[in-house]
Amino acid sequence: MICVLAGGVGAARFLRGLIQVVPPAEVTAVVNVADDMVLSGLHISPDLDTVTYTLAGVNDTERGWGLAGETWHALEALRRFDPDAWFSLGDRDLGTHLYRTGRLAAGATLSEATAGICAGFGLEVSVLPVTDDPLRTRVTLATDDGAAGEEVDFQDYFVRRRHDVAVHSLRFDGADVARPAPGVLAALDAAEVIVVAPSNPLVSIDPVLAVPGVRQALTERRADVVAVSPIVAGRALKGPADRLLRELGHDPSAIGVARHYAEVAATLVIDEADADRAADVEAAGMRCVVAPTVMSTPERAAALAARTIESGRGHQAAGS
């Protein structure tokens, strides 16, 4: 079994590649829920849905989030009453949020609601929220002179402000008391290889690691953990990972990613464009594998997944 720690789009593409090279029933995705929010009374789980829709092959590939062939009649109707509605829920996507919210209101856990959604899409992959407890990323914006300013919800920062603002710090509200969802620690324990997907290290993977027990589970399995760098030639392919790394005091490069993950993962896969940084990655304490990491086609995603899994298995064979 392969276990993948996952955020949104990058992880979803990686997982879609992975199920081309590993039987889907042998894959477990442990997914970030700290981007979740309640909007118009509906519980939205962006990363869970991005992973689910992509694995099911029904995602909108242009936007990266939501469903293909989406229409926006409900949003237009909502804007009659709230012209400033800034978070776009498509008509088809709404079905997912209605189902999830209904199940939660009836007493189901987020894991149970997620299992129902995955069954509805016919998925064989186990998609697990990292926790069923409330976990929310809160973003403290930086003032012009770099001091701590207003603290806002993650989606307020990411979508409403288009992550085009300086960040002072992050915290994961609820992380201290959150419990891993059923199956999470068992999957980390049983996995042949654990992959840290090419997701934003600071706002997608760190909240997953912040759930008590998860970081320790990875540390204990460090030799079998392979991380894939989401930074290529100093840039994030999507989203604000490069800017956030810089603003929060990390090197916005494969080396910064290596330093960030060295405690939990033995191996880092970096892109060919960063081949000249391999020695620095190794100096940061990680074994370095150089491969094409840009998942511009499903074939490239499958090749990256195959290489990543081989790297984890190879490391085990080497006995390190």
Q: What residues line the site for ligand FO1 (CB under 6 A)?
A: 7-8, 35, 44, 46-47, 49, 65-66, 87-89, 93, 155, 158-159
CB 287 to ligand FO1: min, Å:
28
Nearer to ligand FO1, 89 or 170 (CB): 89
CB 9 to ligand FO1: min, Å:
7
CB 182 to ligand FO1: min, Å:
23
Do 268 and 258 form a contact (C-beta atoms < 8 A)? yes
Nearer to ligand FO1, 87 or 99 (CB): 87
Nearer to ligand FO1, 35 or 247 (CB): 35
Do 252 and 243 form a contact (C-beta atoms < 8 A)? yes
Could you tell me which of 201, 300, 180 has the C-alpha nearest to residue 246? 201
CB 39 to ligand FO1: min, Å:
9
CB 173 to ligand FO1: min, Å:
16
Residue nearest to ligand FO1 (CB): 8
Nearer to ligand FO1, 75 or 108 (CB): 75
Nearer to ligand FO1, 31 or 284 (CB): 31
